[in-house]
A and B are shown apart, each in its own frame.
Chain A
Amino acid sequence: GEDVEQSLFLSVREGDSSVINCTYTDSSSTYLYWYKQEPGAGLQLLTYIFSNMDMKQDQRLTVLLNKKDKHLSLRIADTQTGDSAIYFCAESIDYGGSQGNLIFGKGTKLSVKP
């Protein structure tokens, strides 16, 4: 079955880089995602990577994908206090080739200390 694992907490100092890691089990995943959720709010899509890519960079965000090890990471450069939030890794699963479904990890709570 599908399973997505993340560490639950990460604490960094403002200005440092943050690296949030995720492992997934379903090798048929087509896309892998990072979502951000601030307290009491919905989910914000930060970035996603297609499963045939190794890396994607978008401003301060770098996504690395190791498909062999089923490992995904999100690096946030120059982390700011406004980056404090819960970060969810998710994979999309096709049902019968025509439907999509997101399977989320439990989320990593990032705390940024000034």
Chain B
Amino acid sequence: QVKLLQSGAALVKPGASVKMSCKASGYTFTDYWVSWVKQSHGKSLEWIGEIYPNSGATNFNEKFKGKATLTVDKSTSTAYMELSRLTSEDSAIYYCTREGPGSSFDYWGQGVMVTVSS
């Protein structure tokens, strides 16, 4: 069965960076785009960007260009997202998702809660 297992919660200081992981299993990792989605507390969902593991090609929401960096390690079927120059606005839950039928997000990781606080 398809699973996306994300790394644990992070408490980081303003101005710092954080890198989170998303380990895929149950499918061929290089065949599907992986997207990252932000959910601020009690709010809706924002698409950050996507990466194609086979080639490393990426696309970003303009809002997150310069904020998020997406990479993959094909040898471990793991996708990574690094967020830089963190502020309180970056405190949120971050999900990795697999892009499925049509333009949907058919499988989601359990989410990583990032708290930015001094």
Are chains A and B native binding partners rather than an unrelated pairing?
A: no
| Residues in A lying within 8 Å of B, measured CB to CB | none
